[in-house]
Structure 1
Amino acid sequence: MRLARAFAGLRPAPGRAAEVIAPPYDVVSTEEARALAAGRPWSFLHISRPEIDLPPGTDPHDDAVYRRGAENLARMMREGVLVRDPAPRLYVYRMAAEGHEQTGVVAAVSVAAYEAGRVRRHEHTRPDKEADRARQIDVLDAQTGPVLLAHRGSGALQALVAEVAAAPPEVDVVAPHDGVRHQIWPVADPARVAALEAALDALDALYIADGHHRSAAAARVAAERRRRHGDDPEAPWARFLGVIFPAAQMRILDYNRVVRDLAGHTPEGFLEALRRRMRVEPAERPVAPERPATFGMYLDGRWYRLALDPSRLPEDPVRRLDVSLLSEHVLEPLLGIRDPRRDARIDFVGGVRGLAELERRVDAGEMAVAFSMHPTPMEALMAVADRGEVMPPKSTWFEPKLADGLVSHLLGPAP
């Protein structure tokens, strides 16, 4: 099977994209989703976060939630708000925000390639989150959350994409939740589709940037359907919904850390312990680290600049990551945080919220100390994935975010 294929996408009817477009299901809470969907009966949040249509306090993992999502999907198709393309397409997709622009291809990506390691991962998944997404896919009989993917670059692929995007887009919408502009060019011409598929298939590998749980869930659903129906590499469930961008166009923001207490240290004692491990300098303003192995710290109403001796940096690509260095030199030995994935004393703040959010949480007494991080380079992510290793949790925050609802992948006949 080819690495990525055309498929008959489910999309908003002409002129309806602004009514449908929604943030990814996993970046908003139930309360935020309910507020964003208020007065918007066709928001895709009614499909991706259907608990908003059930009584407050409903468990998002209750059977009724998944059923309501399927009912809402069927209703939006019956009412003609969402329409399935009559034949397979690829979709050139551009996101633009704050002077940044990236253009890629929406395609159905091979689950077999994912299982064989040609679609490469860099994170562990949590079984509970994976099970939730698998159940959602199975009950809806659709993949509604696209996986964000990267490739190392292909002149042939980018030339084809640029050729398509030279025409006016069919969809041009600004998301009301974050101001990101989304443009889509469906590609229906069989010769152009074949050329794009061949260029995608010539890529050595794809790298999951965001969507490890969605891709793992798609693979789980595919395995179960293979068991029930036999192996069919052409079945829709043998592929998952992905949006594929050149790595050079993708933007990773900092993913910062806040810690609830100082593990028994006073602020002065904590600073003294830090100085034995790295260079610590007071800063006059918030610190956004400009290079690897440096960190900002907000403690007791003041900012500091932290830096490790470059000669102490390991060669291993995982241990060399800034998130690993902070854990090895500060979080674990000084604050007793050995498992950031499970320790309730640590929380993570995406760089899109700004350094002011770190100050706010510390000043409010909610947290004792905050660390600002240098963004993980895309090349570092791919190097880790190439080695079959995993990065520490919350290592990357990609912006802009893909929108939900603009292209979905049905696994069976229309409901």
Structure 2
Amino acid sequence: MAKIIPIKAVRPAEDKVALVTCRNYDDYSQAELAAWLNFNPYSFLHVIHPAYIHSQKISWDKRFKGVAHKYHDFKNDGIFVEEEKPVFYLYEIQSKTESYTGILAGTSVDEYNENKIKKHEDTLQYRVDLFKEYLQQTQFNTEPVLITYPDSVEMNTWITLKKKSKPLYSFSTTTKQKHTLWKIDTESEMDWLEEHFATIPNLYIADGHHRSASAALLHKENKTPNKENLNYFLSFLISESTVKIYEFNRVIRDLNQFDTTSFMEALTSIFNVVCKHQELWKPTEKGEFGMYIDGKFYALFLRKKPNSSEILENLDAQILYNQVLNPLLGIGDLRNDERIDYISGKQPITTIKELVDEGEFAVGFMLYPIDISEIKTIADADLIMPPKSTYIEPKFRSGLVVYEL
């Protein structure tokens, strides 16, 4: 069963919600960040990036204490309000091309530890430890773990009906997205949601592996048995058919011991190589790869599929690593090798062309995105995908719903 609980959340005052909420801190350029902080006193960026001018000169401990202090200032100033009782939320994100709707709830740390909430991505321990310290110092989280559940006609019908009711918030952002939040606070609705999810044997983490691992570590180290909120972590639950999965493309700084001619010759033993000249070509199915080098695009078609029944060995990201990145280009550690960088598939492939043309990188590779069934198969087999295999949407806005610990 999948256990979800309503949360006694803190959220922006209705008249300030569009001013308070923000994208993930890392999404902002330095100029953009400075502009928001200078001209919008209500932005949640003031909370997650306190004393921003001096932030690079202070320790993590002092920075986290500053986050906690600024958060309480926002509450004391009435920028945030607290729900009177635990509730669920229905949340919709709409852009010109995409629409995502899901449930905001608490999910069980115990079920995460028991692998009923399944994972497909590895974590870096230092990042888990650092975010655990953040949670411990600030005592709140506003970045939910993105979790998928199986599609259900019953759930879809309920969501459609709920959307006809008056929302708690409805606002637009400068990224031309519309955000709508409904409160689910009647006993009958909350009971129905809990009972519906109780029939689901497993949930799957789509994005947020470090956040869930940090919550589990904090729960393990907790010495205060009465802190019930530590038994759950904030989650955004969305049907698996609506989650959007992009690939992560690869750019490499040099060709190792090769020049362009000898590198192309080495590739022809692995792929059928077709020159596409200036056509912005991307793979159209699994087993195809795009490449940009020396001012031209190429289509790469595997001559021979991997002789393995292992699902990991058949992932395009792993094939590229096994056949090209490691043996030819000498890339060993995909996480830490400074010769490789990653470009999300949401960005146009002209980004890769520009990076190579400018000389910062020698070659770029484009992959075909995996689908949710592959992620579930890997998670069910307790396997871990190669680093940077997926870029997943939707992305949640910071400061919209705060879960206090």
Do Structure 1 and Structure 2 share a fold, with TM-score over 0.5? yes
Gaps of 5+ in 2: none
Contact 2:293 2:363 survives alignment (8 Å): yes
1:405 pairs with 2:399: yes
1:275 lines up with 2:268 in the alignment:
yes
Q: In the alignment, is the contact (CA less than 8 A) between 2:2 and 2:202 conserved in 1?
A: no
Cα shift at 1:332 = 0.7
Cα gap change, 1:333 to 1:398, in 2 (>3 Å): same
Does 2:1 match 1:4? no
1:270-307, Cα deviation, whole Å (9 max, x unpaired)? 11100011111001411221111111100011100011
Aligned residue type for 1:39: F
1:57 corresponds in structure 2 to: 56
Q: Confirm or deny: 8 A CA contact 1:51 1:58 kept in the other structure.
A: no
Q: Which one-letter code corresponds to 1:222 in the other structure?
A: H
Normalised by the size of structure 1, how large is the TM-score? 0.93
Secondary structure in structure 2 of the residue aligned to 1:249: coil
Aligned pairs for 1:6-405 within 5 A: 6-28=6-28, 33-50=33-50, 52=52, 54-55=53-54, 57-59=56-58, 61-176=59-174, 178-225=175-222, 228-230=223-225, 235-284=228-277, 285-309=279-303, 311-312=305-306, 314-405=308-399
In structure 1, runs of 5+ residues without a counterpart are none
Query: In structure 2, what is the Cα distance between the partners aligned to 1:321 and 1:27?
Result: 28
Q: Deviations over 1:186-242 (max 9, x none)?
A: 1111110110111122212111111111111111111111xx123x6x801110000
CA distance in 2, matches of 1:201, 1:27: 36
Post-superposition shift, 1:2? 5.8
Secondary structure of 1:99's counterpart equals: coil
- 1:154·1:203 contact (CA, 8 Å) conserved in 2? no
Structure 1 residue 11, shift from structure 2 partner: 0.8
Separation in 1, partners of 2:85, 2:239: 26
CA distance in 2, matches of 1:396, 1:191: 38
1:349 partner SS: strand
- Deviation for aligned residue 1:151: 1.4
Q: State the shift of 1:35 in Å.
A: 4.1
SS of the residue aligned with 2:336?
coil
Q: What TM-score do the two structures reach when normalised by structure 2?
A: 0.95
Q: Is the 8 A contact 1:157 1:200 kept in 2?
A: no
* CA gap 1:273/1:36 in 2 versus in 1, 3 angstroms: farther
CA spacing shift, 1:105–1:332, aligned 2, 3 Å: same
> Aligned pair count?
404
Q: CA, structure 1 residues 392+51, in 2 after alignment: closer, same or farther (shift >3 Å)? A: farther
